[in-house]
Structure 1
């Protein structure tokens, strides 16, 4: 997408957009700020390029580049979002300093090159936050990568508008950060048989349904604040009652009051009888 710097809605003939005499000028990287004792106005520099130098890399991931030997597990925050169909049309055409920025591999050789450098299967730390996933093909590629992360012990997939991960299993994961997604239920969590710490703050979890599925894990810390479920009456007592091995909930260590028994409202009350 072409990026240009334009005057966004300023009327240069209005009071706030008019330059005055006897003003000081503060020169910045994008233009000049004209100041006086009443108003500030900003004049954009017309000499700036209409397209940023990084524009040529807008559809590229690291293993597409002509000279790279980095593997996925060596990158702290790799960009894995798949490019649109237009990417293939431009793959061999993008030039920098007279040379193509991408490699010249194709077909099976290109696929093998991608698999070798991605190496998600052996990565122990995965950080795939802020991927800005919008289209179906981007989600398909994202889930393809997650399914390969079977050696990952630490996983960060925050800020990705994820709705559900229930089809994914992270066999070795001990810590997962799913903060700021759109997950609607604990039942939509991935399978986490070895999880010790789960962060799922600021999602869309309405109830504590599905919490029982975490009972058999070594879970010690759970973070659900910012979800509707955290406002339930006796919220803390219900969580600790379901997860007796839990030590910390939402950053607060287990309190004596958290161990108070709470009736399960979902079960019928058989202690009463009706006399006709």
Structure 2
């Protein structure tokens, strides 16, 4: 493992306010995390099987107030709503167990959010991201993807969104205004 080069271990995570001696979760793995930028962190594939491991992991996440890009792929996470990531612009929580947008962390600066392969059933709560700079959202392989008018509903809830599931906003993604016709019947005798 290289300290000065391209990779770093848990013990050497600097610029994130987390030190190796603060990790009390026995199954939090040491590993090679590519150090691309001091505000990018990959904590994926942690095999968090027990409640105490998840709670300790959340305690670590609460300290990541400077992180701008965070990957938490395949960690069996279900609820991070108590976490606030004030500077996070890119969050990847693919392959977890989120069931709702309400269970995501507070991410007011989010631009790119990837939630593929979770268990998000409905688009309820998606409008909470309306006042963020969210440009790109990935919801592939979630049950909500099969909702009628899925793309139109997402784009109407998030007018600033430019890309959904890797596909740019298309003309058919614009919701047409709802026009109601009222028909009155009269009987001619």
Q: Identify whether the pair has TM-score above 0.5, normalized to the shorter chain.
A: yes
- 1:260 equivalenced with 2:175 (yes/no): yes
Q: Deviations over 1:74-103 (max 9, x none)?
A: 9xxx9x67128xxxxxxxxxxxxxxxxxxx
Structure 1 residues 245 and 194: CA distance shift in structure 2, 3 A:
same
Bigger proportion of residues as helix: 1
The residue correspondences of 1:59-98 to structure 2 (distance < 5 A) are 63=11, 70-73=12-15, 82-83=25-26
Counterpart-to-counterpart distance in 1, 2:97 and 2:25: 21
- 1:234 equivalenced with 2:149 (yes/no): yes
RMSD: 2.4
Greater relative CO, 1 or 2 (CA 8 Å, sep 6+) = 2
The residue correspondences of 1:95-244 to structure 2 (distance < 5 A) are 124-244=39-159
Greater Rg by CA: 1
Could you say what secondary structure the match of 2:133 adopts?
Answer: coil
Structure 1 residues 82 and 72: CA distance shift in structure 2, 3 A:
farther
Structure 1 residues 234 and 62: CA distance shift in structure 2, 3 A:
closer
- Report the TM-score when normalising by structure 2: 0.77
Q: Which runs of 4+ in 1 moved over 4 A?
A: none
Structure 1: gaps (5+ residues): 1-60, 64-69, 85-122, 264-268
Could you say what secondary structure the match of 2:144 adopts?
Answer: helix
Shift of 1:262: 6.7
- Report the TM-score when normalising by structure 1: 0.53
Structure 1 residues 260 and 62: CA distance shift in structure 2, 3 A:
closer
Counterpart-to-counterpart distance in 2, 1:258 and 1:81: 47
Counterpart-to-counterpart distance in 1, 2:74 and 2:145: 20
Shift of 1:71: 3.1
Structure 2: gaps (5+ residues): 1-8, 28-37, 185-189
Counterpart-to-counterpart distance in 1, 2:160 and 2:167: 14
Shift of 1:261: 2.6
Could you say what secondary structure the match of 1:164 adopts?
Answer: coil
Structure 1 residues 224 and 81: CA distance shift in structure 2, 3 A:
farther
Structure 1 residues 62 and 206: CA distance shift in structure 2, 3 A:
closer
Q: Deviations over 1:4-57 (max 9, x none)?
A: xxxxxxxxxxxxxxxxxxxxxxxxxxxxxxxxxxxxxxxxxxxxxxxxxxxxxx
Could you say what secondary structure the match of 1:148 adopts?
Answer: coil
Structure 1 residues 206 and 62: CA distance shift in structure 2, 3 A:
closer
Aligned residues of 1:156 and 1:177 also touching (Cα < 8 A): yes
Structure 1 residues 132 and 232: CA distance shift in structure 2, 3 A:
same
Could you say what secondary structure the match of 1:230 adopts?
Answer: helix
Shift of 1:260: 2.5
Aligned residues: 159
